[in-house]
Amino acid sequence: MSNLAIDYDDVVAAHRRLEGIAHRTPVLRSTTADDLTGAALHFKAEHLQRIGAFKFRGGYNAISQFDAVQKAAGVIAFSSGNHAQAIALSARLHGIRAVIVMPEDAPAIKIAATRGYGAEVMLYNRYTQDREALGREIAEAEGLTLIPPFNHPHVMAGQGTAAKELFDDVGELDTLLVPLGGGGLLSGCATVARARYSHCRVIGVEPEAGNDAQRSLARGEIVSIATPRTIADGAQTQALGSLTFPVLRECVDDIVTVSDAELVHAMSFMAGRMKQLVEPTGCLAAAAALSGRVAIEGQRVGIILSGGNVDLNRFAELIQGAKE
């Protein structure tokens, strides 16, 4: 019997809770992308999910399992933006209080959206302060329930519903590419892949500047790093979680990295050729496919586009900078 934090049944249960609440996002195709890679790419468009990212799945699944005492007190989370919005909206849908600890340099669009959903936002310096310590301190002082962005079984199971829908819609895949920060999305998706199609190769993709997961799997233990400096703000994690790491170690075949330049190229391709606005972190898996970081020629490939919450001015700066 598995001692992992989640199994496929947990993802199925999460999918039932999300039915009619979360968007069933489309699977996009691109003839140009197929021609460039020599593969049949299937893009799961989670940038079109509620709050603009897959994070809504895990956030709602977690809060929907609160008991009466937890609902009366409220929820707290720490996040660079997408988990923040997911918890804020999920709390509003359940009629409970939400406090979100966010880095002061988080994209302005994400801070504004989090406040727009009704959450109380507390800012911190991600390079000098410990967001987890701040979150625990406030939670204890005010009786709030803390939902971390990835190291939580209900969050992990909720995120896995993205892969469940992808397989439901397109069938068996040879390779599944998934963005990787703290491992919540990847652990959920890998759990689904192993249960549905055991021969599907599951690969996590993280930024070059923050390859803690790649190093962790190579070493066989969680490796912590300084906050990575990368445009993929949703993947600026310092370490995998105690719950996500064992799932990745057992269910993931490989972890690759992509550069910021490759992320910008993928963003430009998604916008220019597929008419989709995807944030840097959301393009991690796409960048791995388009840049040739993973051998996929002749394969049916699933790609999770994890989010689209990028400030338009910032998006323009990144694209223009790549042309200069």
- Point out the residues that are catalytic: 55, 80, 206, 210, 212, 306
Dist CA 11 CA 227 (whole Å): 30
Nearest to 85 by CA among 112, 114, 63, 59: 114
- Asked if residues 81 and 111 have their Cβ atoms less than 8 Å apart, the reply is yes
**Length of the chain (residues):** 324
Dist CA 198 CA 208 (whole Å): 28
Question: Residue 220 phi/psi, 5° resolution?
Answer: 85, 15
Dist CA 135 CA 125 (whole Å): 13
Dist CA 6 CA 286 (whole Å): 26
* Number of C-beta neighbours around residue 146 at 10 A: 17
- Asked if residues 236 and 208 have their Cβ atoms less than 8 Å apart, the reply is no
Query: Between the CA atoms of 87, 166, 177 and 51, what dihedral angle is there, to the nearest 10 degrees?
Result: -20
